[in-house]
Every structure is written in C-alpha cells, then in structure tokens.
Amino acid sequence: MDAEKKYILLVEDSRTQALFARRLLEGAGYRVTVAETGRAGIELAQTTHPDLLLLDVVLPDIDGFEICRFVRRSVTTYIPILIFTGERTGMEDRIGALTTVGADDYLAKPYNPRELLAHVEALLRIKNTIDELLSRLTSEKQSYQALRRIALTDYLTGLYNRHYFAEVFEKEFSFAIRYKTALAIVLSDIDLFREVNNKYGHPTGDWVLQNVSALMQSRLRLGDVIARYGGEEFIMILPMTDAHAAAVACERLREQIEQTTLNAEAGPIRITVSFGIAAIPSLGVTKAAELLERADKALYQAKHTGRNRVEIFNPYLPPAPAESAAK
C-alpha cells in the first residue's frame, strides 16, 4: 500500500498522546492532521475528507461517539473510523461504537504501536476497495451518489424517505436509551392539504410540497433528520433535544410557514402546518415504536384543537376523534 498519499485525521485532546500517535503515523509515511476538539474534528472531516479518521472517546466538547454519528450523517464520501477507547470502557460501549454510531473499528488505550499501524493499514485497505468499486460505478455512469439518492430519498421532495427514517430512528433511539440522552420526534402535517389539491390541482399541490419541504429542511441543525413520512406528512428526528426545545424550534417554523406566501402559477397560496412532538426520556417509553405512536397522538391533538399548532404529547388528554382531526 502506498501510505505516502494517505491522509489521516486524528482527533485527540491530549497533546502528549497526539504527538506520539502523529510521529508514529508520519514515520510510517502517512500525512496527519491533529484536531484537539470535537468541533474542530467535525469541521476538518467535512472539508478535507480524510482517508481515515482516528477518534478519542473523551474530548473537551463532544465525545467521539457523537462525532462519529455526525460524520456518518453529514459526510457523503466513505471515511473509515477507528475509535480509541479507554481501559475502563465497557464491552457494551465498545460494541455500541461499532453497531450504533457507525465506527469501523476500535482500539483500547494504551495500545501497542505495531497494533495501531496494523489497524490503520487494514482500514485503509477497505477504503481502497470501496474507492475502486465506486470508481467502476462512476465509469459505468452509475455514480454512488446517484444510487444513494434513489435508494434513500423521496423522488418528489428530495427529502429522505420513510425507509431511511425507520433505519436511522432505530439507531438514534437505541443510542439515546443507552447513553441516557434526549431525543425528540416531530410529526408534522400540512393543514387541509386536500383543499389545495382540489382547488389548484395536483401539480400545484406537488409544488407546494416541494416548497414546504425546502423551508423545513433549511431550518434543521447539523445532525437533525427530516423525511417525507407519506402524503403531506413529514417527520423529524432531533437528537440531543428535549420536548421543550423541540417545541420552541417547531413554533418558529410554524410561524415562518404561516407568514410565507407561496406564489404559484395558479396564484398566491397561504398554508399552515400542525406539529406533534414526543421525546425521551419519558416514563413508559422503552421502544422506538412507542415514541412514534406518541408523536402521532400529539399531531392528532394539534389537529383536533384547531390546526396550525404545536402540541407536545400529553398522556392526560383524551385522544382526538378521527372525524374531528380530519386533515
């Protein structure tokens, strides 16, 4: 393997350990950049696209698990990720690094220098294999990005589709439960959308969906996910967000949509959107499906109480009658 051309990003806040690892890797012919904080590591991963990312778990701002999740979500090219775990890191956390947050390998500290180099070489071989495969796909006019877009996104809105949401939701829920972090789910629905289709026609209705999708997507933070859930329904995953914070964000979005005039060919259109929120930690929620069911009930409550509202799931409110929650 020609290591001279391989670029490694090392995220390590300990200057002593970073210096040791850097000298070891540069001595083996690799190019190395060191980031001392999680945020700096994320920025470099997004802008420089390293051939390999080495992450320490314990950092001053964002831990290595969270960085791994962000990189997997925001960087479209494949970057192998190795996480350094401490001596006291439990087996569950090590397995979680591979199965939940998307790391490719882990190595416990303190490590043997030869062992680190062996892990690095193995991951770079995988990277080479994947790059060669993608190169063949590109030469056959079947680019990786085109295939990925078809498989994971909704053809009309360009948002992620329901299948992708289901996959990510399960992982985010498992991560939140395991590490006891907050996670909010938001179901939203365009109010009285059937009237838009009936009055202006389905092509205009599709145009409205595209504009609302773009507006919603523009308000997301790094790490948030939005998908088209079906018809005029959208669903958002907001990691590290409790119900109150989610409600504040949704209220801003609701106001912006309400105040926006969509200038369609058929004339100006004003629409509103209802939002239902559920979040963990919450008593009685142990499965992802239960959290989703609560968000659905909150959305129906928003419809029942007048539409154009943001509602947080409340177990003490009666369920909304189906006929009163008509879209």
C-alpha–C-alpha distance, residues 206 and 203, integer Å: 5
Tell me whether residue 318 is in a domain. Answer: no
The domain that holds 177 is classified in CATH as 3.30.70.270
Q: Which of 69-73, 117-121, 139-143, 245-249 has the lowest mean pLDDT?
A: 139-143
Residue closest to 30 by CA, chosen among 123, 135, 132: 123
321 found inside a domain: no
Q: Is residue 325 part of a domain?
A: no
Return mean pLDDT, the chain: 86
Other Cβ atoms less than 10 A from the Cβ of 287: the count is 11
Instruction: Decide which of 91, 108, 139 is a domain's last residue.
Output: 139
Whether the CB-CB separation of 117 and 8 falls below 8 Å is answered with: no
Residues 169 and 289 in one domain: yes
Does the pLDDT at position 2 exceed 70? no
For the chain, how many structural domains are there in total? 2
d(CA 79, CA 44): 12
Q: If we measure between CA atoms, which residue out of 156, 278, 143 comes closest to residue 211?
A: 156
Residue 148, domain member (yes or no): no
Q: Under a CB-based contact definition with an 8 Å cutoff, are residues 298 and 313 in contact?
A: yes
Percentage of the chain modeled with pLDDT above 90: 54
Residue 317 covered by a domain: no
Instruction: Tell whether 42 and 86 lie within a shared domain.
Output: yes
**127 and 190 inside one domain:** no
More confident residue, 134 or 305: 305
State in Å, rounded, how far the first CA of the chain is from the last one: 60
Long-range contacts at 279-282 (CB < 8 A, ≥ 24 apart): 279/182, 279/183, 279/184, 279/185, 279/241, 279/242, 279/243, 279/246, 279/312, 280/173, 280/176, 280/177, 280/182, 280/183, 281/180, 281/182
The gap from C-alpha 267 to its chain's centroid, in whole angstroms, comes to: 36
Phi, psi of 7 (to 5 degrees): -110, 125
Domain around 306: 153-312
Q: Residue 64 falls within a domain, yes or no?
A: yes
Domain boundary among 110, 139, 168: 139
28 in a domain, yes or no?
yes
Q: Are residues 69 and 9 in the same domain?
A: yes
Residue whose token pair is 């947080």 = 312
Residues 181 and 295 in one domain: yes
Q: What is the CATH classification number for the domain harbouring 68?
A: 3.40.50.2300
- Would you place residue 327 in the very low, low, confident or very high pLDDT band (cuts 50, 70, 90)? low
**Average of pLDDT values for 160-178?**
91
Contact predicate 41/55, CB 8 Å: yes
Q: Long-range contacts for 124-132 (Cβ within 8 Å, ≥24 apart)? A: 124/1, 124/3, 124/6, 124/51, 124/52, 124/80, 125/1, 126/80, 127/51, 127/52, 127/78, 127/79, 127/80, 128/1, 130/78, 131/78
Tell me the catalytic residues: 232
Per-residue pLDDT band for 324 (boundaries 50, 70, 90) equals very low
- Please give the average per-residue pLDDT across 80-103, as a whole number: 66
Same domain, 193 and 46: no
The domain boundary residue, chosen from 87, 110, 139: 139
72 lies in the same domain as 220: no
- Give the pLDDT band (50/70/90) at residue 278: very high
pLDDT of 140 above 60: no
Q: Are residues 86 and 196 in the same domain?
A: no
Predicted confidence band at 92 (pLDDT cuts at 50, 70, 90)?
A: low
Exposed e or buried b for every residue in 104-115, given b needs 16+ CB within 10 A? Answer: bbbbeeeeeeee
What's the CA gap between 79 and 81, in Å, rounded?
A: 6
Alpha-helical regions (H) of the chain: 15-27, 38-48, 64-74, 91-99, 113-139, 144-152, 162-179, 193-200, 202-218, 243-259, 288-304
